Structures are given as C-alpha cells and as structure tokens.
Amino acid sequence: MAEKEIAQRKITVREKEIQLLKQIREGSDQAYIELTGPYRERLYRKAVSMVKDGDDAEDIVQDALISGYRSIKNFRAESGVYTWLYRIVVNKSKDLLAKRKRARENSMDESEFQVTDHRLGFEKKIELSDESEYLIKKINELEDIYKEVIELRYFEEMSYSQIAEVLGCNIGTVKSRLFKAKEFLKHLIQQDGRGDGYFR
C-alpha cells in the first residue's frame, strides 16, 4: 500500500509539472515561480559546491532561472525539470570557473580570486559527522569526471538515465564511470587503512 501511495505521489508531481509548463507557455510568470521554487535550494547548494562562494552561487542560480524561463518553450519535458535546471546551473558554474582561471592567468595577484564562503564551510562541518566529512574529502580528491558521477548518483539521487542526460553521454558510460569512481574511491580509503564498505 505504501509503495502504491509513493508511486501515486510521483505521478502527481509529474502531472503538476506538465500542468505548470502549460500555464507558463500560456504566459503565466507565477507558474514558472511555482515550478522552479522547490529546486532553488538544491541548485544553490550545487553552485556553491562548484564556485565556493555564496554570492556567486546566488547569481548563478538567478541567471540559470532567467535562462530557463527564456528557453522554456523549447523544454520538451521528456526529463524532469530539476535535471534540466541542474544542467544549466552546472554549465554556468563552469563558465564562471573558466573566467576566474583566465583572470588568474592575467594577474600577478592570485589571492584576489580565491574566494571562499567560510561561514558556509563552518556550518557544513558542524552538520557533518566525522565519517561523512572524511568521505566527502576523499570524493573531492577524485578526478572531476568521477567526482561528478558519484555526486549525481549518491547525493542528488539521480537515476542512470538522468545522469546520462546531465553529462551528455549514454547510460553505459555512466555505469562505467561510476564503477571506476567507486574503485578509485575504495583505493583512496584503503590507503588510509579504513574499510571499503562505503558504496556497495
């Protein structure tokens, strides 16, 4: 009974999105706010994790939502709204990181561009257990392509098909990267003399 109720809720969310998309295409700005509102905090956390600055992350999310609104007529709704917005946020975060890199290369003073939201980091450390903090540290040591696939699968809880859409590859590639990512992560953990029962 519980599984049936959960499935029904998922259908309801999907139908709600389709209904709101229809209203948006008919000119309702409020419908777009209602559609994207539930995802703002998650999108913000993703942007912060990439650009390491709260103000920049907020700008990125705002810019992404504006871009999403402008291109909403081209959104086919074959995937979820969050997956679509997530990809926009990631691309805009990468654009900012690329601009920072170019700025560093053209400046003698690199410290100006190494901005970090220390308040967020402090709060995050309070919330995380020692074990979780250790695991996140190890994940951050992975190459970007492996770090990203683990983040999408285990922190964003995306399906293989959603990850494939975000990364622009096929499901087979997603599974292969995830397998390699877990092997690399296991190796890093074992180097510290810890167990490997993290991603079974």
List, for residues 113-140, the tens digit of each pLDDT value: 444 444 334 444 444 556 677 788 888 8
| Mean pLDDT, residues 45-74 | 90
Q: What is the CATH number of the domain that holds 138?
A: 1.10.10.10
Task: Please give the model's pTM, rounded to 2 decimal places.
Answer: 0.65
What is the rounded distance in angstroms from the CA atom of residue 126 to the CA atom of residue 133? 10
| Mean pLDDT, residues 49-78 | 87
The model's confidence at residue 11, banded by pLDDT at 50, 70 and 90, is: low
| Mean pLDDT, residues 83-98 | 91
Q: What is the CATH number of the domain that holds 51?
A: 1.10.1740.10
Is residue 45 situated within a structural domain? Answer: yes
Residue 94 sits in the same domain as residue 36: yes
What is the rounded distance in angstroms from the CA atom of residue 39 to the CA atom of residue 60? 14
Residue 33 sits in the same domain as residue 95: yes
Q: Pick from 119, 181, 122, 123: which is nearest to 149 by CA?
A: 181
pLDDT over 90, % of the chain = 24
Is residue 2 situated within a structural domain? Answer: no
What is the rounded distance in angstroms from the CA atom of residue 102 to the CA atom of residue 161? 34
Q: What is the total count of domains within the chain?
A: 2
Residue 20 sits in the same domain as residue 101: yes
Is residue 22 situated within a structural domain? Answer: yes
* DSSP 8-class letter at 70: H
List, for residues 39-52, the tens digit of each pLDDT value: 999 999 999 988 98
Which residues form the domain of 186?
128-193
Q: Compute φ and ψ for 158, nearest 5 degrees.
A: -85, 150
